[in-house]
Structure 1
Amino acid sequence: MVVGMDADVVVIGGGPAGLSGAKALARSLRSVVVVDDDRPRNAPADGAHNVLGNEGIPPRELLAAGRRELESYGGRVQPGRVVDARPVDDGFEVQLADGGTLTARRLLLAGGGVDELPDVAGLAERWGRDVLHCPYCHGYEVRGRAIGVLATSPMSVHQALMFSQLSPDVVLFAHGVELTADDRGTLAARGVRVVEGTVTGVEVTDDRLSGVRLADGEVVPREAVVVASFVRARTDHLAGLGLPVEELRMGDLVLGTKVAADGAGRTPVPGVWAAGNAVEPMAQVVGAMTAGLLAGAQINMDLITEDAARVAG
């Protein structure tokens, strides 16, 4: 660690990506501090799935285990909220909401993303419980049930088709989205019924989702609703870095925003890496872990190279 710096690396965000990157650095004998504001994206979910060896583990339990592992290698988790970060001589200064600061030679941004949902009454309150988005994250848990897919774009057809593998009773609520004849034919071939009209809310009975309400008053019984969120990278608190943010696009569709970074997590801002949902909003827990590990390894090598160059003169 350079004299005068608080750490070799400050990691902003203590989710799967941030903790994995920090752990890789700590195991390489780097001093690392993770600043975390305890707002994991998957907090509403009962469990994290497809995590080999930890199937269905509650998200906060997984993060608590990760923090313990990091600390066992000398890494530190500092509760707090970052309000800005900026380059300084030999590194970066991270400003905290409580007025404190941290300095480091490198930064790893792993603050994740924020899910923005359509303005439909009751949707946000059920998010992560029986309002879902990913068949691989939570589809098995609603297998065989009456599932509704709320269309937000033509991509919703793709969601309906995937969930039709998990249940014979899937309804796509068109919600004003234009569907092509090919789309309708493919949906029909998979047994997916299309319901026209605008969705105004979801019904809840005994703390369980029970139906989808249309503008004409009809309630279609459903036990789960699938919707694609707009995922916005959490970067508003990092203005001082001048970090480029890009649209996440699929063809002409804009699905969210993401931090600009290469395949190893290196951003266009020298000394700054990013990993997890901030870079790849569609990444599941294991993917975020992998990206964090790769970014941590890249940061370690970058520091080794810098140190060697400094000695060589």
Structure 2
Amino acid sequence: MTGANNTTTTTDTTDSRGAYDVIVIGGGAGGLNAALVLARARRTVAVVDAGEPRNAPSAHMHSFLSRDGVPPLTVLEVGRAEIARYGAVRIDGRVEQVEPAGTGGYLVRLEGGATLDARHVVLATGLHDELPDIPGVRAMWGQDVHFCPYCHGYEVRDQPIVVLGVHPASPGQALLLRQWSSRVTYVPHDRPLTEEERERMDARGVEVAEGTVSALLAKDGRLHTVELADGRSLECAGVFLFPRMTPNDGAFAGLGCEKDEQGWLVTDRAGRTSRPGLWAVGNVIDPRAQAVTAAGMGAAAAFALNHDLVDEEIERDLAAHRAAGRSAAPVAAS
């Protein structure tokens, strides 16, 4: 793990007993920021975190104001220490299932048998990147093989870049990357170009190298060459590809939340799902969200969630107040 290790021990715990106002599932930027806001609002909060952030392979985080160039694991370590400062609990574990509780709220079952009770649950579980089965891709993913030009395009500016055609959005990715370098090559692999797309490539100055990729080769630990099946080699400083993305939502699939036509959870602008008391932020609802975007979504959801809890409490207190008033009313003399 990269970064100052002494910031993690204050937040890690295996105590998974008790009830909470909010349980946050997922300890990335979105989940931690939601927990931070809620803990500062004096809510009881637990963050269940399996410790497998999507951006863990990346050496540095970019396009995050005040955190540009910082290792992503360092950002998470700092975030864990910050939520602990306000009393939030971090539980090392994986959620097996989320289900409605009989008395309202939710029951969160962890692998291993422990259970948690919560009035509200925030889903910040991210997504899974399914990478093409090409030798070298997995080994260099997050280092010299990337998805997001806004996160990593600047680091390979003006150098040779290869885009692998493995997704319907791959041609657009190549056209976009031309913004960072005049030396962009698109390899169709299993995503051949249409005539219109080829014309766009020509107009934009993107070279097309017909064929399929057989391997990515490294030299001295860094990507050096894209090898094609016909024996040709393309020297490059960075490879970009568009992975197949699927939301990590298996633990709450049985709750019947509304999804869009691509299978992503639908929320309102504050992060409310179609299920009352269940919220979602970050990549589990938006595959395009960067860490800074997820953090903002976590904060927005926390603001709205706390207001919903306050409204619930006002209604409860008002009912109790009225009941007490009726029981204390004097009995009229007969």
Distance 2:108 2:85 in 1: 24
Same amino acid, percent of matched pairs: 43
- One of 152, 158, 161 as aligned partner of 2:175: 161
Distance 2:168 2:245 in 1: 17
Distance 2:286 2:207 in 1: 32
1:101 aligns to what? 115
Q: Residue 40 in 1 paired to residue 53 in 2?
A: yes
Distance 2:260 2:131 in 1: 20
Unpaired runs of at least 5, structure 1: 249-256
TM-score (structure 2 length as normaliser):
0.86
- Contact 1:19–1:70 (CA<8 Å) still a contact in 2? yes
The C-alpha deviation readout for 1:190-239, integer Å capped at 9, x for no partner, is 32100111222212222211112222222222221100011111011224
Task: Give the Å deviation of 1:19.
Answer: 0.6
2:82 aligns to what? 69
- Contact 1:151–1:177 (CA<8 Å) still a contact in 2? yes
1:20 aligns to what? 33
Distance 2:55 2:260 in 1: 23
- Contact 1:144–1:166 (CA<8 Å) still a contact in 2? yes
Distance 2:272 2:298 in 1: 11
- Contact 2:165–2:192 (CA<8 Å) still a contact in 1? no
Query: What secondary structure is seen at the aligned counterpart in 1 of 2:314?
Result: helix
- One of 286, 293, 301 as aligned partner of 2:307: 301
Task: Give the Å deviation of 1:99.
Answer: 1.6
Q: Which amino acid aligns with 1:140?
A: Y
1:131 aligns to what? 145
Q: Residue 147 in 1 paired to residue 133 in 2?
A: no
- Contact 2:34–2:302 (CA<8 Å) still a contact in 1? yes
Query: What secondary structure is seen at the aligned counterpart in 2 of 1:78?
Result: strand
1:86 aligns to what? 99
- Contact 1:176–1:196 (CA<8 Å) still a contact in 2? no
- One of 196, 207, 223 as aligned partner of 1:193: 207
The C-alpha deviation readout for 1:161-191, integer Å capped at 9, x for no partner, is 2211111211000114232333222222332
- One of 227, 232, 236 as aligned partner of 2:246: 232
1:253 aligns to what? none
Distance 2:50 2:107 in 1: 18
Judge which range, 195-204 or 174-183, deviates more.
174-183
Unpaired runs of at least 5, structure 2: 1-16, 320-334
The C-alpha deviation readout for 1:8-55, integer Å capped at 9, x for no partner, is 000000100001111111111111000000010000001111111111
- One of 62, 68, 90 as aligned partner of 1:49: 62
Query: What secondary structure is seen at the aligned counterpart in 2 of 1:70?
Result: helix
Give the strand-richer structure, 1 or 2.
1
Q: Residue 171 in 1 paired to residue 156 in 2?
A: no
TM-score (structure 1 length as normaliser):
0.92
After the TM superposition, list the runs of 4 or more consecutive aligned residues in structure 1 that deviate by more than 3 angstroms: 242-248
- One of 122, 131, 142 as aligned partner of 1:117: 131
The C-alpha deviation readout for 1:50-77, integer Å capped at 9, x for no partner, is 1111111111100111111111111111
2:265 aligns to what? 259
Distance 1:124 1:238 in 2: 28
| CA RMSD in angstroms, aligned pairs only | 1.6
